[in-house]
Structure 1
Amino acid sequence: MTVVGIDSHKKTHTLVAVDQVGKRLAQLTVEATAKGHRQVCTWLGQFDQVLLAIEDCRHLTRRFEADLLLAGYAVVRVHTQLMAGARRSARERGKSDPIDAEAVARVALREPDLPRAELDGPTREVKLRSDHRRTLVRQRTAIANKLRWFLHEIDPGLAVPSRGLKRLCVLDSLEADLAAHHGVVAEIALDLVQDCRRLTVRINAMESQLRQLVRELAPNLLAVPGCGVLSAAMILGETTGAARFKSKDAFARFNGTAPIPVWSSNTVRVRLNRGGNRTINNALHMAAVTQVRRDGPGATYYAKQIAAGKTVKEALRLLRRRISDRVFRALLADEAARDNQQIIQTLPQAA
């Protein structure tokens, strides 16, 4: 087995092939274009069995990964933190694209359970729409904050409900009130109201599309108490396939709900994991808070931990981990259902 490490940039890809003991065999640098990708596939033909390891920078490598997967190669992703350790332990000092590519390859030799790259599926659309919706919400929040100061300058007695600038009826009322005022401040405030309206319409439309997608892709995930459409969309988009995790514990390490061991000798201790995927972690936290506020197994478990002497934060962390395990099972069930549906759809064609 030959392992090929890839260090990718916006304009070039550098590949270094190593054998099973980490000895460098060959090196190649190509342009990050379709022609360069074809050149890589031709170059890889000199090796019998190849495993491609690529630095996990999907904003740079998504097209390259897709071309390699379509060509029939196995591709694993290497986190940049793992690369740093391999680079420090190498004999060759310094930092360059070949050094980084060789570090990627040596990590793939050392770590047998790296996540495998897959072609984009329906969850890719969920992630894109969810990320775009959050961007629109941030834009609307910035505009609404600025608008409130202008409204206070125009009329300090003008009452605007809390979080009211995301409601179309409130924006209609503000637009009618501003029409009676004159001056540059009123003119700018009117423009900001119209911007809030435009963004709100787009946000509502995006949420409606997400609701339809998530209901089709993840009905079991939506059945988890406290997990709404937006939280489920974030989890789906960031997980990109629960089957790639070997266990619920690996999924918990991925989303940051598994604590980090910090013990030696006979005293077993752990500390809070502040790493992991914070988007999924935030979605799990909101689900935990929702469960605590409602009657059910989550609230009962939380009360039990509080009675045992846990602090509020500690009890929430424990509940969040339980929700992570429940979410992992739901994701696996939804993926199995989708796979079965695809098999059923292909049966008439095969017949």
Structure 2
Amino acid sequence: MALAELVDHVIGVDPDRDRITAAVVCSKTQGELASRVFPTTARGYGQALRWAAPYTTEGRRAWSIESTGSYGAGLAAALAAKGEFVIEFDHPSTRSAKDGAKSDSLDAVRAAREILGRTSWATPRSRGAREGLRTLITARDSAKLVRVAAINVLKALVVTAPVDLCEELRGRPLMALVARCQRLRPDTATDPEYAATKLSLRSTANRVRQLTDECRELELAMIPLVRSMAPALLDEPGIGVLIAAQILVSWSHPGRCRDEAAFARLGGVAPLEATSGQTQTRHRLSRGGDRQLNC
């Protein structure tokens, strides 16, 4: 059953950093009834709900919000707390208006009209402990990227170091190399190349150590959250805290994925046809997802 048969009106929302643009669309005619801009504050979210009330029927309206994982997260959470029917407007059509027109108001109307014809839809990611896990994953991924870059710099410095220093450091396991470089003491009275190289090695090693400790601290903070939400998950073979945390954040809750196909895309196990020429019909796994089915 299409959404248009379940609700009388859809409020499409195009969010931005400082404001949200909402537009009320009639389900039967797909005509725009009203539109307005509100600030991205708790007061602004309340104003949006009160503004939509005269144009819609409570219990027979839906909110189609774009970017519920970023700019639209605050509004989605505020509406969900009030018991509103909130839909995550994912994968909008790339078709633009014939005259090339584009504005926040037009995007809000599009978010409402495009969702009306769908027979399945996703609801925004739940917050609470899951949102806490998401922030920990984001911070840990950021620290890991910087750590990998620092490790690459450290190894490059070893390769280009003076011969005797290079021979002393080369071949050591990573953390043993870090520990040794942290103990280097530049002596400005000696060769300036040695002094500068030792200082660079020590500084980079300190950075690697700090980021390693930071990643470990964030991972440890994930464990109680994972155990509180899915205590049996960490007992499964091959599932550690990082994988468990990502599963809980990506899946989030029943209704997060529109259908089984979307869930298969999310897990990277959806079959994708890979037939060419005389090759018989075969399939491979779609690891990268799909615009039409990925949730």
Place the TM-score, normalised by the shorter chain, in its bin.
Answer: 0.7 to 0.9
Which deviates further from its counterpart, 2-11 or 149-158?
A: 149-158
1:84 to 94, 98, 102: 94
Which residue among 35, 38, 53 is the counterpart of 1:30?
Answer: 38
Q: Are residue 212 (structure 1) and residue 224 (structure 2) matched?
A: yes
Q: Which amino acid aligns with 1:11?
A: D
1:234, 1:159 → 2: CA distance?
37
Q: Give TM-score, length-normalised by structure 2.
A: 0.79
Corresponding residue for 2:156?
149
Q: 1:133 aligns with which of 104, 117, 140?
A: 140
Q: TM-score, normalised by structure 1?
A: 0.67
RMSD: 2.9
Distance 1:64 1:246 in 2: 21
* Alignment partners' CA distance in 2, 1:33 and 1:52: 17
Indicate how the Cα distance of structure 1 residues 23 and 256 shifts in structure 2: closer, same or farther if over 3 A, else same.
farther
C-alpha contact 2:125 2:256 (8 A) present in aligned 1: no
Preserved contact between residue 260 and residue 273 of structure 1 (Cα < 8 Å): yes
Match of residue 63 from structure 1: 74
What amino acid is the match of 1:276?
G
* Pairing partner for 1:74 from 69, 85, 90: 85
Displacement after TM superposition at 1:220 (Å): 3.6
Measured in 1, the distance between the counterparts of 2:205 and 2:285 equals 43
| Counterpart position of 2:241 | 229
Counting only pairs closer than 5 Å after superposition, residues 238-249 of structure 1 correspond to structure 2 as 238-245=250-257, 248-249=260-261
* 1:342 alignment partner in structure 2: none
Structure 2 distance, partners of 1:236, 1:161, is 40
Q: Name stretches of at least 5 consecutive residues in structure 1 with no aligned partner.
A: 282-351
Work out whether 1:99 is the aligned partner of 2:106: yes
2:216 is matched by which residue type in structure 1? N
The change in CA–CA distance for 1:151 and 1:92 in structure 2 (over 3 A counts) is closer
Distance 1:233 1:220 in 2: 13
C-alpha separation in 1, matches of 2:21 and 2:158 = 55
Which amino acid in structure 2 is aligned with residue 241 of structure 1? Answer: H
2:196 corresponds to: 184
Q: Work out the number of aligned pairs and report it.
A: 267
The whole-number CA distance in structure 1 between the counterparts of 2:75 and 2:229 is: 27
Which amino acid letter does the alignment assign opposite residue 169 of structure 2? A
Tell me the distance in 2 between the aligned counterparts of 1:57 and 1:84.
19
- Provide, for residues 236-261 of structure 1, a one-character-per-residue CA deviation record: whole Å limited to 9, x for no partner: 22222245346644411333421246
Deviation digits for residues 134-184 of structure 1 (CA, Å, limit 9, x no counterpart): 21111111112112222331422023557x43x3x54333323x2266512
The one-letter code of the counterpart of 2:185 is A
Q: Which amino acid aligns with 2:44?
A: G
Give 2:4's aligned residue: none
The structure 2 residue matched to 1:159, chosen from 166, 169, 176, is 169
CA deviation after TM superposition for structure 1 residue 118, in Å:
5.2
Per-residue deviation, 1:130? 1.7
Q: Which residue is equivalent to 1:172?
A: 179
Aligned residues of 1:124 and 1:237 also touching (Cα < 8 A)? yes
1:276 maps onto 2:283 in alignment: no
Structure 2: gaps of 5 or more residues: 1-7, 189-194
AA matched with 1:108 = I
C-alpha spacing 1:181/1:138, structure 2 compared with 1 (3 Å): farther
Shift in alpha-carbon separation, 1:15–1:260, aligned structure 2, 3 A? farther
- Describe the SS at the equivalent of 1:72: coil
Q: Does 1:44 align with 2:52?
A: yes
